[in-house]
Amino acid sequence: MKFSAHARSRARRYALQALYQWDLSGQELGEIRRQFAEDEEFVRADVPYFTELLGQVPAQLDVIDNSIAEHLDRPMKQVDPVERAILRIAGYELLFHEDIPFRVIINEAVALARKFGADQGHAFINGVLDHAAHKIRPVECAAKGKKVNGL
């Protein structure tokens, strides 16, 4: 089954909430997933992608955090928990989903930060992910920076 961009965005939103809950509570991931599955709106999300994010972000946490840490102005543990979850989802996508353009990843993360983060959290997220994308995907970022037809 193919899901729309809106369903993928919903999956990220649910994953943000679930990873935030996991990060703060240490609750078992399977239990968190079951809680979200009970929400009647959950079926409108890309459920397989939510499941992937909920399983793989924690599984790849060290790799993700290390790829983001050098672009932070403070240790990852000191980043606001909502922003930390957003950075981890986007970091996972940058590292492991080359099928998703880096600009889409950044735009989705900024949208989540605008909705759930602190007042200027979206600017922080944008800056960190822009730097991380250039390091993680230098070829893609360089190609997007080239002018079309010499303009």
- pLDDT tens for 66-101 read 999 999 999 999 999 999 999 999 999 999 999 999
> Do 143 and 118 belong together in one domain?
yes
Low-confidence ranges of the chain (pLDDT < 50): 1, 147-151
Quick one: 84 and 149 in the same domain? yes
pLDDT for residue 148: 42
pLDDT at 146: 52
Tell whether 46 and 78 lie within a shared domain. Answer: no
pLDDT given at position 128: 97
pLDDT at 145: 63
Does residue 148 share a domain with residue 77?
Answer: yes
Total number of domains constituting the chain: 2
| Stated pTM of the model | 0.93
For 136, the token pair is: 């993680």
Residues 47 and 24 occupy one common structural domain: yes
Asked whether residue 46 falls in the same domain as residue 64, the answer is no
